[in-house]
Amino acid sequence: MIIKYRSEWLERVKRRRNLADEIAVKRQVGPNTLSEQVEVREQSIEHIQLKEPSLAYINSLPDFKAALLHQGQEKWDTGVTATVVQANYDYIDSLIGILVTLARYYSPKQFGNQTPQEFFSDIIASRFRWPRTIAEPYGPETGGTIINITCGGGVIEDVENMIEDMVMALVGYNEEFDWKNWPKRWREDKR
């Protein structure tokens, strides 16, 4: 059963990551001309490595997260399990786009033989296993459909923490970074 969920997750990520990567690259690189936009689209995200983190991009992340939460709120509010689960997956996919963009500040060697997308997809797929395992002590599919919602919530928290960890590592000792307020803004739930 775990293999089934992992396969479904990886397929979902594969379909959405190209779009999420493109959006993240546009937010970071900010192409102004049509030719620059085409060039960014044609480049694979793993071939673009930035030297220094852009504080403008990093400072925009809490507002971007708030917009993503606002966008998903209508689906979360339905209370329909399948719709809520899909909203969780959509939000996680968008967070992966942020992780992939932040990964551009790291050496490609940090991800072994994987692209950042593959690296994060594997980590996140593994994050689904633990809450599912502990929530279904009597075996797979014994916890009902609510397990899909609770697992998604746990994974969302993990991925949000991963982004915060990467940001804090990337800004290093930059005195221009707002060490006190950025984490507060990131952790805020502005739905």
The pLDDT of residue 71 is: 93
Distance in angstroms (rounded) separating the CA atoms of residues 164 and 159: 9
Determine if the pTM surpasses 0.85: no
Distance in angstroms (rounded) separating the CA atoms of residues 112 and 131: 27
Contact 98, 61 (CB under 8 A): yes
Average pLDDT score over residue span 42-59: 67
Average pLDDT score over residue span 141-155: 87
What would the two tokens of residue 95 be? 């967070």
Name the region of 10 (left: φ>0; alpha: ψ -120 to 50; beta: rest): alpha
Contact 108, 46 (CB under 8 A): yes
Q: Which residue has the tokens 């480049």?
A: 43
The pLDDT of residue 128 is: 87
Mean pLDDT of the chain: 80
The pLDDT of residue 34 is: 38
Comparing 88 with 15, the larger pLDDT belongs to 88
* 132: Cα within 13 Å, side-chain hemisphere: 20
The pLDDT of residue 143 is: 82
Distance in angstroms (rounded) separating the CA atoms of residues 188 and 185: 5
